[in-house]
Amino acid sequence: MNSGDSKAAQQRRVALLVVDGVSMLDVAAPSEVFAESRHSSGTYEFVVCSPDGNDVTTGSGLPLHVDTNAHDEEALDTAIVAGGCSLPDRELSTEHVSAAFHLASRARRLASVCTGAFVLGRAGLLDGRRATTHWHHTSRLQELYPAAEVVEGVEVVQDGNLITSAGEGAGIALTLALLREDLGQDVHSVIARDLMIFEPSVSTPQEGVATSSFRNPLVKQLAENVVGDPSAQYTLSDLASRVAVSPRHLSRLFKEELGTTPAKFVEQVRFDTARSLLDRGTTVTDAAFASGFGSLETLRRVFIGRLGVSPRAYQRRFKAA
């Protein structure tokens, strides 16, 4: 990285939008994770803002200091809209929605924690996008904003530069996903381990039928095959024969489209599938075979390599969290 890139990395400004009634967990999750990242990389400047710049009162009654007026923010790296228990059922103020829209227009990337998705929906920022919110309110979000595709059963949904989380606790997973995107898996893993957090699965456009963002139709077809049935056999030769190209050519296509090899893509899908199954309470043995790893030892090796813990230890910690 040259000095210009280093300077740009130092200037990543993240603004969290809050109003009266905001959930304290929605504020604490991103602030703690970004604070930990500053200790490791010094890349982020995290500020809390409100529609008028005034301090707010959280849903639990605690006062919360606000750093800035949302409308004064310019050239943001990331804008995050926090949620609150009352957001799905109350009339959102024009000032609140306007502040969210202003931040979104100034940010490279937009995110919401829990019911913050309702503010994005009211601002028209979910139209044509995949998103999620607290499991109790997904039907309500879909009803209010039918132009969005509301996803259930996952903690974090990423659609391009939009990232939403399914609950207050998933705000940690959302923030870790942002760090992984910015700083890479190694830094992400260090911070996650320091916080003793192993974040739930993230749904991205590579999962399910939402592979429409793929440019290459051959890679798209194979990606859908792997995601649809991760337990099938997917050697390089098998994959290449499915689309009638040479293994070398297929490797080049995957590198151009996804920046990875076919084998690593298959492993990533299987890992995400296994982790999702463990999150839902599936036994380690069943998760190993249903995800396509084929053996407990292979699953264990991959989990230790990626998270530093065994599948059983991960599941115990996830349940405890």
CB-CB contact of 152 with 135 (8 Å): yes
CATH architecture, domain defined by 213-320 = Orthogonal Bundle (1.10)
Query: pLDDT 10s per residue in the chain (321 long)?
Result: 333 444 444 568 999 999 999 988 888 878 877 776 655 555 788 899 999 999 999 988 889 999 999 999 998 999 999 998 888 888 999 999 999 999 999 999 999 999 999 999 999 999 999 999 988 899 999 999 999 999 876 778 888 899 998 876 667 777 777 777 776 655 445 555 555 444 444 444 444 334 445 678 898 889 888 888 898 989 999 999 999 999 999 999 988 887 788 998 899 889 888 988 888 888 999 999 999 998 999 999 988 887 778 898 888 776 554
pLDDT at residue 42 in the model: 57
Tell me how far CA of residue 227 lies from CA of 19, 64, 74, 106, in angstroms: 39, 43, 39, 34
Residue 89 in tokens: 């059922």
Rounded CA separation 36/41 (Å):
9
CB–CB of 170/203 below 8 Å?
no
- Give the whole-angstrom CA distance, residue 175 versus residue 179: 6
pLDDT of residue 11: 66
The model scores a pTM over 0.75: no
- pLDDT per residue over 4-35, tens digit each? 444 444 568 999 999 999 988 888 878 877 77
CB 120 within 8 A of CB 81: yes
pLDDT of residue 56: 94
Length of the chain: 321
Q: Could you tell me the CATH superfamily of domain 3-203? A: Class I glutamine amidotransferase (GATase) domain (3.40.50.880)
DSSP secondary structure of 27-64: HHHHHHHHHHHHHHT--EEEEEEESSS--EE-TTS-EE
